[in-house]
């Protein structure tokens, strides 16, 4: 390699390095980064008003999807309370967050029950009510877990279920997996980072 070629190559390398420095660094998330995951890409479920919803309905918003049920004694109300706090702490960006609650107990979680339940946390949160077949298919696609646990009477059963949240960016791509109990502040930071990415 002669001197001219060496200098040309060195100049090209320096330019590439300079350009790399101008790009936004990859964000560091608190939740598990799922970017590029090839599952949990969409759904088509009815909300409490009987309207079919898909991820495309919420384009432009960061979507947090959670599996739970209204009679859940701890994990579900705690998560929904935290999500209401996240939305509040986002301030003017709060309207760029959409929480979706997929019931794993469609037999008891009627549209009326779900409307009241969501209303207790934030009326803008959307409850999705699958059929049993839809629930089974969605849980498989999302690698989520749920199981009916018999109670003392036929209607007093409880539901074991996954306790994490799936977080989509504003383009409807699965990006993060937030474990239960991660806290409000880390979730706020992650949602803000996704909103900023657009």
> Residue-wise pLDDT tens for the chain (198 aa)?
554 554 454 444 444 444 444 455 667 899 999 999 999 999 999 999 999 999 999 999 999 999 999 999 999 999 999 999 999 999 999 999 999 999 999 999 999 999 999 999 999 999 999 999 999 999 999 999 999 999 898 888 999 999 999 999 999 999 999 999 889 999 999 999 999 987
Residue 7 lies in a domain: no
Q: Is the dihedral of CA 76, 129, 66, 63 positive or negative?
A: negative
| DSSP type of residue 74 | S
Instruction: Tell me how far apart the alpha carbons of residues 37 and 57 are, in angstroms, rounded to a whole number.
Output: 21
Residue 19 lies in a domain: no
Residue 1 lies in a domain: no
- In the sheet with 32-33, reading across from the earlier edge strand, the strands are 32-33, 174-178, 165-168, 62-68, 97-103, 126-129, 45-47, 52-53
Q: What is the pLDDT of residue 194?
A: 97
Residue 118 lies in a domain: yes
Q: Do residues 114 and 70 lie in contact, with contact meaning Cβ atoms separated by under 8 Å?
A: yes
Residue 82 tokens read as: 């935290």
Residue 170 lies in a domain: yes
Residue 16 lies in a domain: no
Residue 37 lies in a domain: yes
pTM (predicted TM-score): 0.85
Residue 158's domain comprises 27-197
Instruction: Tell me how far apart the alpha carbons of residues 146 and 46 are, in angstroms, rounded to a whole number.
Output: 19
Instruction: Tell me how far apart the alpha carbons of residues 170 and 96 are, in angstroms, rounded to a whole number.
Output: 8
Residue 44 lies in a domain: yes
Q: What's the total number of domains in the chain?
A: 1
CATH code for the domain in which residue 111 is found: 3.40.30.10
Q: What is the pLDDT of residue 24?
A: 53
């Amino acid at each position: 390699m002669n001197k001219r070629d060496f200098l040309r190559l060195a100049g090209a390398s320096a330019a590439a390095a300079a350009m790399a420095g101008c790009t936004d660094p990859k964000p560091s998330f608190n939740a598990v980064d799922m970017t590029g995951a090839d599952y949990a890409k969409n759904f088509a479920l009815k909300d409490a008003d009987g309207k079919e919803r898909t991820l495309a309905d919420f384009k432009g918003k960061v979507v947090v999807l959670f599996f739970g049920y209204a009679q859940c004694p701890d994990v579900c109300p705690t998560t929904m309370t935290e999500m209401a706090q996240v939305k509040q702490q986002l301030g003017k960006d709060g309207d760029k967050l959409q929480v979706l609650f997929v019931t794993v107990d469609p037999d008891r979680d009627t549209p009326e029950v779900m409307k009241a339940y969501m209303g207790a946390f934030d009326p803008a949160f959307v409850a999705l009510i699958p059929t049993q077949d839809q629930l089974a298919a969605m849980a498989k696609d999302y690698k989520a877990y749920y199981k009916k646990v018999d109670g003392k009477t036929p209607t007093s059963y409880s539901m074991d279920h996954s306790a994490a949240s799936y977080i989509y960016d504003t383009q409807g791509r699965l990006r993060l997996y937030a474990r239960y109990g991660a806290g409000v502040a880390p979730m706020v930071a992650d949602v803000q980072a996704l909103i900023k990415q657009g």
